[in-house]
Structure 1
Amino acid sequence: MEKFEHKLNEYAKLTIEVGINLQKDQPLVISAPVEGVEFVRLLAKYAYEAGANDVFINWSDDTLTKLKYENAPFEVFEDFPKWKQDTMIYYAEKGAGFISIHSDDPELLKDIDPKKIAVANKASGIGMKEFRKYTMNDINSWCVISIPTKKWASRVFKDVDEETAVEMLWDAIFKATRMDLDNPVEAWKEHVKSLEDRSTFLNEKEFKTLHFTSSNGTDLVIDLPEGHIWQGGASKNIKGIQFVANMPTEEVFTLPHKNGVNGVVYSTKPLNYGGNLIDDFKVEFKEGKVVNFEAKVGHEILKDLLDIDDGAKYLGEVALVPYSSPISQANIVFLNTLFDENASCHLAFGRAYPTSIKNGEKMSDDELSKLGVNNSLTHEDFMIGSEDLSIIGETKDGEKIQIFKDGEWAI
């Protein structure tokens, strides 16, 4: 127990010192499930010790969320409270850092009317659109982490009791975030450097297209826009302060050209979307747009996701993750995108990060659109990596380079 408490404290410290890299006199906003109150208190403790001038907690509760979906009338979900956006923008304008703890029950809304969920997701997307510019443009530091909750742990480890499942999930999270190593902070610095080195190589090559193929039927060509930027590991906010947006992170990513995606791609892991699972699906693209899709699990949920707006039918991210990543080698399907996306190459429906194109963070939506940058109310990652995935990149000079072979880096 003493060893666990030590790791728990070190995980909280790592999140504050490396993840959000909190600065003196900076506010901090933490979005968290009520089940994680003890860990949130640790985050607040170390945040104040690091010099935070204010720590605001944005609580959520799966039980109350489900009760609302089961009992509230449809029109309630069509409206997003303005005070919620105003609160987040208030802190963003004060230069706050934002920590989000993603620990939802992946089957929370399994029996809820999918139309009600779709309406709520769209209303939230519209309501939080202005705030998301602060994080998607890296104006403010932000960090996404996870902690186990009982329902989530029991979905992942179905054959053990609830308490054991939570312990097993904590162990998996600690390993995925390098908390099992002697010096996690130094291990993270080395890891960030290795991802930055991959990004540097890809940026120097200035690839024009990427061709993905796999024995599962994936055959997809993705055009990359002029001036695209590969990123990985750490980012910097508007003040030049480094932060790590996802812990864990194993990806190197950029954006595709909105109208330059053609072919078919097959999912390789379940997608947890809004309390429902979408699994075993394939998507066909023509000139960037989804023109056909099939899903053996969650077909209607996927349809509603793609119908949020026109931009949801286009891609906003392409990310490379080796099949041998530590999270993949754990051989656990986490049913949580933060972890599963870092076990697999993935794409994202919807909005692209403006920081993934040269000077994009300084551009208007219209200026970004002219460069082929997708805009949408949503951004949802889905996993496509496999043990035999091949990726061949072609530079603007016509040179073809094997980037991935048999699911691993070939460069």
Structure 2
Amino acid sequence: MKSFDLMLEEYAKLCVKVGINLQPGQPLVINAPIEGADFVRLVAKQAYEAGAKQVHVNWNDETLTKLKYENSPMEVFENFPKWYADGLEEFAKDGAGYLSIYSEDPELLKEIDPKKIAANNKSSSMALKEFRKYTMNNINSWCVVSIPTKGWAKKVFPNVSEEEAMEKLWDAIFKATRMDLEDPVKAWEEHIKNTEEKVKFLNEKSFKKLYYKSSNGTDLEVELPEGHIWAGGGDYNSKNTFFVANMPTEEVFTMPLKTGVNGIVYSTKPLNYGGNLINNFKLTFKNGKVVDFEAEEGYEVLKDLLDIDEGAKYLGEVALVPFDSPISNSNIIFLNTLFDENASCHFAFGKAYPTNIKGGENMSDEELEKHGVNNSLTHVDFMVGSKDMNIVGETKDGQKVQIFENGNWAF
């Protein structure tokens, strides 16, 4: 059995070699919790050994974040610092890869005024709009991973000590990212190949519509735009370098036609958004737009999310994930979208990835709009998959094909 230190080192190597696939002379920008300093140093070491020009780290600290929300006036949250956005864009122009270590306490801001959170989400989305074109258009390589933090681990495993919770979460992350296998890099190569087979099938079929049904009440029709592209596993940046944007990743995804979503969908896992949980919610769509919604927990947070802009009320992503998959089979609710979205079929509110439509990365916002591509300041995934979900695809000539049966791939 591998030692913890060996798996940690291999995980850092995986982030650099597979996630970002860092090339000699390329800068690496890391966003990370201060609790993860030791792991970040391992990543930096791997990056420099791979020939990184420089490694720049943007640290975040949850204690300081909470103090800021408790004490700073509203104007601070309404005005995102331009220098920060400019710095990220400057690195992007220099060809940097972006590694985000997403490990927040899902209830960090539970007691905070939701209007402050909403203001910060909106101002940051506006300030980072230009920078996000580099990642959402796959101009630069980017990757999101996670490591345990004490606040997050205790929320996932509340009935054990802090130390044991950290150990259990590390174990779950290592298994989900295939670190426990003898050759993780080879295992990832095989996994990506399997995912690409699903992508190929869906792209060859070029479905016009998808029909979702579950016993929980989900009954949704999703139209796909002409020229849509399914993706999954990994992708190529503008320099034709292959990278893997999410680790773990189990999804195959595309975009819906902005105005082509009709019916009702129920969430099946909690959504961690802005330090708050939104749970057990129901959405009603008409001509693509959310026209009604309910939530047992986090109703106001969901309302603020949908009010970021008009595009937030429409969908930007359609993702298929089998119920019988490593993360789902762990029976752990991670309260972290990176993991929970890869345990469940999901959609995303807001902006679509331009790379999910033919020629989209070279289209203007106006051209994308004409092709039925949703635009928004936000992009937030939420989980809808269940063990009895059935999804049927309809081709342009009216042929019906079973895509998912009882929560899993039907082909």
Specify the TM-score bucket, using the shorter chain as the normaliser. Answer: over 0.9
Deviation at 1:298, TM superposition (A): 0.2
Question: In the alignment, what sits opposite 1:147?
Answer: 147
Q: Which runs of 5+ in 1 are unaligned?
A: none
Provide structure 2 residue ranges, at least 5 long, that are not aligned to the other structure: none
Residue of structure 1 equivalent to 2:272: 272
Q: Distance in 1 between matches of 2:9 and 2:278?
A: 35
Root mean square deviation, CA, Å: 0.8
**2:241 maps to which residue?**
241
Tell me what 1:212 maps to: 212
Counterpart for residue 157 of structure 2: 157
Matched residue SS, 1:173: helix
Residue type at the aligned position of 1:304: D
Partner letter of residue 36 of structure 1? G
Shift of 1:223: 0.2
Q: Could you say which residue in structure 1 is the equivalent of 2:125?
A: 125
- Mapped to 1, the partners of 2:27 and 2:240 lie a distance apart of 17
Partner of 1:68: 68
- Once residues 404 and 307 of structure 1 are traced to their aligned partners in structure 2, the CA distance between those partners, rounded to angstroms, is 32
Distance across 1 between alignment mates of 2:25 and 2:32? 22
Q: Which residue of 2 aligns with 1:390?
A: 390
Once the 2 structures are TM-superposed, how far is the Cα of residue 75 of structure 1 from its aligned partner? 1.1
CA contact (8 A) 2:352 2:379 kept: yes
Who is 1:319 aligned against? 319
d(CA) in 1 for partners of 2:120, 2:15: 30
Deviations 1:212-253 (A, max 9, x none): 000000000000000000000011000100000000000000
SS state of the match for residue 317, structure 1?
strand
Matched residue SS, 1:253: strand
Q: Which amino acid aligns with 1:182?
A: E
CA contact (8 A) 2:2 2:180 kept: no
In 2 relative to 1, CA 24–259 (structure 1 residues): closer, same or farther, beyond 3 Å?
same
Over residues 68-110 of structure 1, what are the superposed CA-to-partner deviations in whole Å (9 max), with x where a residue is unaligned?
Answer: 0000011111001100111000100000000000000000000
Counterpart-to-counterpart distance in 2, 1:228 and 1:9: 39
CA distance in structure 2 between the aligned counterparts of 1:63 and 1:39, rounded to whole angstroms: 20
Give the Cα separation in 2 of the matches to 1:2 and 1:256. 43
Aligned twin of 2:195: 195
Partner of residue 59, structure 1: 59
Q: Secondary structure at the match of 2:40?
A: helix
| Residues 170-189 of structure 1 mapped to structure 2, 5 A cutoff | 170-189=170-189
Query: In structure 2, what is the equivalent of residue 335 of structure 1?
Result: 335
Instruction: Tell me which residue corresponds to 1:364.
Output: 364
Deviation string 1:116-173 (CA, Å, 9 cap, x unpaired) is: 1001100000010000000000000000000000000000001000000000000000
Q: Which stretches of structure 1, 4 residues or more, deviate above 6 A after TM superposition?
A: none
Which residue of structure 1 aligns with residue 31 of structure 2?
31
Name the TM-score, length of structure 2 as normaliser.
Answer: 0.99
Number of the residue aligned with 1:294: 294
Question: Structure 1 CA distance, aligned partners of 2:308 and 2:209?
Answer: 28
The 3-state SS of whatever aligns with 2:29 is: strand
- Provide the rounded CA distance (Å) in 1 between the counterparts of 2:158 and 2:80: 35
Partner of 1:15: 15
Q: How many residues align?
A: 411
1:89 paired residue number: 89
Secondary structure of residue in 2 paired with 1:278? strand
Task: Give the corresponding residue for 1:345.
Answer: 345
How far the C-alpha of 1:2 sits from its partner, in A, is 7.9
The normalised TM-score by structure 1 is 0.99
State the shift of 1:397 in Å.
Answer: 1.2
Query: 1:23 deviation in Å?
Result: 0.3
**Counterpart amino acid of residue 393 in structure 2:** G
1:388 counterpart letter in structure 2: D
Which residue identity is paired with 1:286?
K
Paired amino acid for 1:63: T
Structure 2 residue matching 1:368: 3-state secondary structure: helix
The one-letter amino acid paired with 2:35 is E
Query: Which letter maps to 2:389?
Result: L
Distance 1:156 1:367, change over 3 A: same
